[in-house]
Structure 1
Amino acid sequence: MDKNQAIGLVLISVMLIVYMTFFSPEKPKEQPKPKATPTATVKPSQTPVSGPVDSVQQAQQRAALGAFGNVATGTAQKKVLENQNLKITFDSKGGQVDEVLLKKYKTWNKKPLILFDQTSSSTEISFRTQDNRVIKLSDLYFQAQPVKTINTKQGQSQVLAYRAELATNQYIEQVYTLPADSYLVDYKLNFAGLNDLVANAPLQFTWNDQLKKVEKDLNQNRERSRLNYMTAAEDFDHIAGSADEPEVATVEEPLKWVANKQNFFTAAILADNSFTKGTFKASFSALDTTEVKTFSSQLQIPAQDVLAGKGDFSFYFGPNDYQILKQLPADFQKNLDLGWGVFAWVNKLIVIPIFNFLEHYFTNYGIIIILLVVFIKLLLTPLTYKSYLSMAKMKVLKPEIDAIKEKHPDDMQKTQQETMKLYSTMGVNPMSGCVPMLLQIPILFALLNFFPNSIELRQESFLWAHDLSTYDVFARLPFTIPFYGNHISMFTVLMTLSTILYTWSNNQMTTIQGPMKFYSYLMPFMIMFVVNSFAAGLSFYYFVSNIVTFIQQAIIRRFVDDNKIRAKLEENKIKNKDKKPGGFQKRLQDAMKAAADREAQQKSAGEAPKKRKR
């Protein structure tokens, strides 16, 4: 590892820490939980129906709801739509979703994964009438039609229709369609024959969702839980909230979808047309271990869409799986955080396709990670070879470089000038060892987003790690170390040790001395503190990557002959004897010469007053 490669390592390390500081999700701030006075809250849809409503109450309800009063009484009944992915329960009171069970997944403690239920989540649609009344669908009783099976583009689908009849040819209809092998539920809201009753004002869709704790690591889940939204102009944004105060956002332009996104699962609503505007709120209590976050959304639906039979929407209840999300419209795959800019494209075009290909042939995800390392390392072999060749050249030139240092022990600038002249004469580019390392940064940063967000690794064990999507706990500490935590992640320790071994191997060929050499050993320890609570799959990947790189260099070493390199450099020396440096090397030499001249002028200016004083 020469000076320029060491600089490259420093740059990579600094960029790594900066990236994880500014581009990773913000950690929740601790805040004492305020004491709350217990209150009893009963949602309208949860009100038990114990018998017929008395005539006085009926009269009051009819008076309050006007023309909609005759559908304000009834008995709540449950209906179910089910495919191989979802089991969705509906309530005839309001005709809305009551509970959503994800059949292929379990919670961290192996319980059924219920993503949505009436104890933690609620949706509501309200509208204004011509006589200025506000009607909520949850106040109305709908009659459920028998569940039908129909053929659609997605194959066979189950259809559940709810209807609240006001009069002949006047009704509110809600139709849910669940295709086979899908996490998407089509939803149609239709106001038939109600143009004279419903005001031409936007309908209000309200969704309050207290995210259920489905992962063991509550802090990690909170850090990666966000309320995401996409505008019709394809502008993506989110709010995350904090323990200190709620985060609120108002969007005054049309919206395509809104998603309550957790680490690995998302509940969302998508509009075929668009919502006219939206208001969002995110919050949580740091001390409430039963709550991840609470998201609230208020969306406006154009009344004319619903009156014209164009109130078409979809609900998504499912995993943050790229292969599933990318099939949905309006860039819905952005709910999976694959990184910023070029790093996301590296994941989409390289990492995910390779990972999914390996999944077809292997079921052990530790083996898949090892093979992923081998494939990517083979892909980067030309860069690895170029980097090693640069180190070999520096090793061959080490005697000359040491001689220059001995010649000018107290003049750093003179040493650098003559070293650059030596490089130019020998035809060596001092940046050739740094550039290959920098070119690998996109893959390095892409993997920082891939592993913590890969649902494929969720609850997948390997060796002592019970879940590769979160940190492995080899041992618990009886105390907490700042920036490190209260656990020892063995994969992180192995990654650190292998990095030190790799650094030591490179330093055997280095011309670098002093603080920079010390820093090359210090950096792995600094990174260890940063990644100790990162996904075990990520630490394991870097550990295997270091070992494979070490083996790669051992193989390359067999094909690199120092004598041949020396002969080539001597040829360059003769060829470049009278050649003036150009390009980057010339600019670097000019800059160093200018710095030396300035230093000499400053020194002479300082010595002049001393002579006059004598």
Structure 2
Amino acid sequence: MDRNTAIGMTLMGALLLVYFYWFSPTPKPEAIPAATTELATASASTTGDSTTSTNTASQFDSAKLSALQGFGTFATGREEKVSVETQDLKVEFSTKGGVIKYLELKNYKTYFGKPLVLVEPRSNAFELSTKVKGEPLDLYTLYYGSQVSKKNDTTIVTFSLRNETGSFTQTYSIPPVGYEIGYSLKNGGLAEQLSTEQLTLNWTNILRPLEKDLADSRNNTTINSYTVAGEFDYISERSTDTETETFADPLKWISFKQKFFLASIIAKESFAGGEVQTSVNQSDTSVVKRAHAKLFIPLKAVTDSKADFTFYFGPNDYNQLEKVTTGFNENVYLGWAPIKYINKFAIRPLFNVLVDFNMNYGLVILVLVIILRLVLLPLSYSSNLSMAKMKVLKPELDEIKEKFPDDMAKAQQEQMKLYQQVGVNPISGCIPVLLQLPILMAMFYLFPNSIELRQESLWWAEDLSSYDSILTLPFTIPFYGNHVSLFVLLMTAATLYYTWQNNQMTTVQGPMKSLGYIMPVVFIFVLNSFPAALSFYYFVSTMATIVQQVVIKRFVDEDKIRSVMDENRKKIAAGGGTKSKFMSKLENAMKASEEARKKADEAKKTKKK
């Protein structure tokens, strides 16, 4: 490892440290206590209860019932449930409000082995607010008539309010496969009595723990949004304060995003605007975050039968989301540009191809490493060739340092002259290392956001999407946590050996030579709570790099390199050969620096006289 390679590695390490400082998760206890009831709707009947209950409209007094005109007749009624089950979803609707009361993803479980429920009375509350003659009315508190029908393979559930004045209808369309549910609002004359220009849809969602690591879940839970103009936005995921964002421009969709699952509503046309809010109580381990969305639906769209929407309740899977609507795959964060595009167009497609072979995920990662090592082979060979050249030049470089021990500028000038004479670019070892950095960084977004790894095991790691642990400590170590990740320890050991191996042929001396040993030790702390798949990838990648370096060395002939350098030296001495543009600019810069130094010294001497 020459000086420039060491500098490149240092820059990489510095960038990674900055990333970890801002984004690394803090481990939390794996078990959570039973959640308590937090919404008033928790008193509703539990899922699976086929009985019905009689409800009264005690919240409506006689004066209000009179003001509500045609709507007042729907303030009392009998709540019934309508259940629909598909290949992927188990859904339960209520005739009180015509809303989704319960929704379960049949093909997924929580980390704790429980059914994965995205909508339930204790955690979700829906409200569709308007006014009738100045009196506020929540259309989701009224009692609807229900009808279930079939259109091809799609189940149609219709909830209607009907009287002599007209009708107001909510329609749900549930296909036999998938995670999308169609939803429409239509007016048949009844909505003309409303005295507002828009309906306000309020959706409160208390997001419950679904994964192993509560801290990591909180750091990956937010509300995402997408405007009609094509602008994606989100509330800060890592904030511990109450965060609110208001939208004046039309919205296309919003989503309550957890690490691997979404609960979303998408407008076919648009919402007129809205507001979203998140908050978190760090001491309450029964809740990840509390989230609320307020969306405005133009009444004209309801009157014109254009209030069409789609609910998406399902996995936060990049491949799945691409098919839903424009910009919806932004819910899966693949990194900032250009990392995002490397993941989107190169790494993730390759990962998907390997996954399609139905191999064990340890083998998938191993094959991914081998392919990337082969792709990066030219850069690795260039870096090793540069290291070999610097090793050949080391005796002459040491002589220059001994000749000018107190004049660094002069020593650098002589070094540049030597590089020019033998035809060596001093930064040729740094560039290949830096060019590999985007691939390195891409993995930090691929593995933590790949639902394919969720609950997939490898040896002692029971879930590759979370940290592996071979030992739980009875205390918490600052910046480390309360568990020991074996994959991180193996990765660190491999990296330390790789650094030692490189130092055997390095030209670097002093503190810079020891710097390579510091970074792996730092990574023990910052990677301890990252997904096991990530640390396993870097362990395998480092081992592959060590093997690759041994193979490359067999093809790097130092004697041949020395003879080529001697030939270049003879050509330069005879007046032949040409300087590269880079070397010419570097030499000119060194000369200018030397001239400036001399002038400064002369100015000081003149001032003293």
Where does residue 33 of structure 1 map in the other structure? none
Where does residue 108 of structure 1 map in the other structure? 111
Any idea what SS the aligned residue of 1:369 has? Answer: helix
Matched, 1:419 2:415: yes
Any idea what SS the aligned residue of 2:192 has? Answer: coil
Deviation at 1:559, TM superposition (A): 1.4
Q: Distance in 2 between matches of 1:310 and 1:218?
A: 41
Equivalent residue letter for 1:63: S
Matches within 5 A, 1:184-199: 184-194=180-190, 196-199=192-195
Unaligned regions of 5+ residues in structure 1, if any? 30-37
Any idea what SS the aligned residue of 1:280 has? Answer: strand
Deviation at 1:253, TM superposition (A): 0.5
Per-residue CA deviation, residues 166-211 of structure 1 (Å, 9 max, x unaligned), is 226x111111111222111111111112363133511100000000
Where does residue 143 of structure 1 map in the other structure? 145
1:163 to 160, 163, 170: 160
Per-residue CA deviation, residues 129-169 of structure 1 (Å, 9 max, x unaligned), is 3x2333212221111112x3323xxxx3221111111226x
Deviation at 1:246, TM superposition (A): 0.7
State whether residues 241 and 283 of structure 1, in contact with CA within 8 Å, keep that contact through their aligned partners in structure 2. no
Matched, 1:19 2:19: yes
Equivalent residue letter for 2:65: R
Where does residue 465 of structure 2 map in the other structure? 469
Where does residue 515 of structure 1 map in the other structure? 511
Q: TM-score, normalised by structure 1?
A: 0.91
Q: Distance in 2 between matches of 1:468 and 1:407?
A: 56
Where does residue 2 of structure 1 map in the other structure? 2
The structure-2 alpha-carbon separation of the partners of 1:39 and 1:398, relative to structure 1 and needing over 3 Å to count, comes to: closer
Deviation at 1:241, TM superposition (A): 6.5
Any idea what SS the aligned residue of 1:430 has? Answer: coil
Equivalent residue letter for 2:592: A
Matched, 1:355 2:357: no
Identical residues among aligned pairs (%)? 44
Where does residue 35 of structure 1 map in the other structure? none
Higher mean C-alpha displacement, 273-282 vs 583-592: 583-592
Q: Distance in 2 between matches of 1:262 and 1:317?
A: 11
Matches within 5 A, 1:265-284: 265-284=261-280
Any idea what SS the aligned residue of 1:173 has? Answer: strand
The structure-2 alpha-carbon separation of the partners of 1:54 and 1:85, relative to structure 1 and needing over 3 Å to count, comes to: closer
State whether residues 95 and 141 of structure 1, in contact with CA within 8 Å, keep that contact through their aligned partners in structure 2. yes
Q: Distance in 1 between matches of 2:411 and 2:66?
A: 94
Matched, 1:220 2:223: no
Where does residue 32 of structure 1 map in the other structure? none
2:300 to 299, 304, 329: 304
Deviation at 1:471, TM superposition (A): 1.1
Unaligned regions of 5+ residues in structure 2, if any? 29-35, 47-51
State whether residues 427 and 576 of structure 1, in contact with CA within 8 Å, keep that contact through their aligned partners in structure 2. no
State whether residues 242 and 283 of structure 1, in contact with CA within 8 Å, keep that contact through their aligned partners in structure 2. no
1:250 to 243, 246, 255: 246
The structure-2 alpha-carbon separation of the partners of 1:335 and 1:345, relative to structure 1 and needing over 3 Å to count, comes to: same
Where does residue 49 of structure 2 map in the other structure? none
Matched, 1:493 2:493: no
Q: Distance in 2 between matches of 1:520 and 1:28?
A: 27
Deviation at 1:217, TM superposition (A): 0.6
Equivalent residue letter for 1:593: K
Per-residue CA deviation, residues 534-566 of structure 1 (Å, 9 max, x unaligned), is 111111101110110111111111112111111
Deviation at 1:301, TM superposition (A): 0.5
Any idea what SS the aligned residue of 1:370 has? Answer: helix
Equivalent residue letter for 1:222: R
Higher mean C-alpha displacement, 576-585 vs 415-424: 576-585
Deviation at 1:359, TM superposition (A): 1.5
Deviation at 1:111, TM superposition (A): 0.8
State whether residues 28 and 223 of structure 1, in contact with CA within 8 Å, keep that contact through their aligned partners in structure 2. no
Q: Distance in 2 between matches of 1:391 and 1:189?
A: 69
Matched, 1:332 2:328: yes
Equivalent residue letter for 2:431: V
Per-residue CA deviation, residues 205-241 of structure 1 (Å, 9 max, x unaligned), is 0000000111121000000101111111111111136
Q: Distance in 1 between matches of 2:306 and 2:571?
A: 78
Q: TM-score, normalised by structure 2?
A: 0.92
State whether residues 130 and 196 of structure 2, in contact with CA within 8 Å, keep that contact through their aligned partners in structure 1. no
Q: CA RMSD of the aligned region, Å?
A: 2.6
State whether residues 468 and 537 of structure 1, in contact with CA within 8 Å, keep that contact through their aligned partners in structure 2. yes
State whether residues 200 and 304 of structure 1, in contact with CA within 8 Å, keep that contact through their aligned partners in structure 2. no
Where does residue 589 of structure 1 map in the other structure? 587
Where does residue 458 of structure 1 map in the other structure? 454
Where does residue 256 of structure 2 map in the other structure? 260
Per-residue CA deviation, residues 353-391 of structure 1 (Å, 9 max, x unaligned), is 111111122331111111111111111111111111111
Per-residue CA deviation, residues 500-549 of structure 1 (Å, 9 max, x unaligned), is 11112222221111111111221221233221211111111011101101
Deviation at 1:345, TM superposition (A): 1.2
Matched, 1:119 2:122: yes
State whether residues 184 and 314 of structure 1, in contact with CA within 8 Å, keep that contact through their aligned partners in structure 2. yes
Where does residue 74 of structure 1 map in the other structure? 77
Equivalent residue letter for 2:229: A
State whether residues 241 and 247 of structure 1, in contact with CA within 8 Å, keep that contact through their aligned partners in structure 2. no
The structure-2 alpha-carbon separation of the partners of 1:604 and 1:52, relative to structure 1 and needing over 3 Å to count, comes to: closer
2:101 to 95, 98, 101: 98
Deviation at 1:122, TM superposition (A): 1.2
Per-residue CA deviation, residues 311-364 of structure 1 (Å, 9 max, x unaligned), is 100001011111101112120001111111111111111221111111122331
The structure-2 alpha-carbon separation of the partners of 1:365 and 1:26, relative to structure 1 and needing over 3 Å to count, comes to: closer
Any idea what SS the aligned residue of 2:468 has? Answer: coil
Per-residue CA deviation, residues 375-434 of structure 1 (Å, 9 max, x unaligned), is 111111111111111111112222222222222233222222111111111111111111
Deviation at 1:603, TM superposition (A): 4.7
Q: Distance in 2 between matches of 1:478 and 1:282?
A: 33
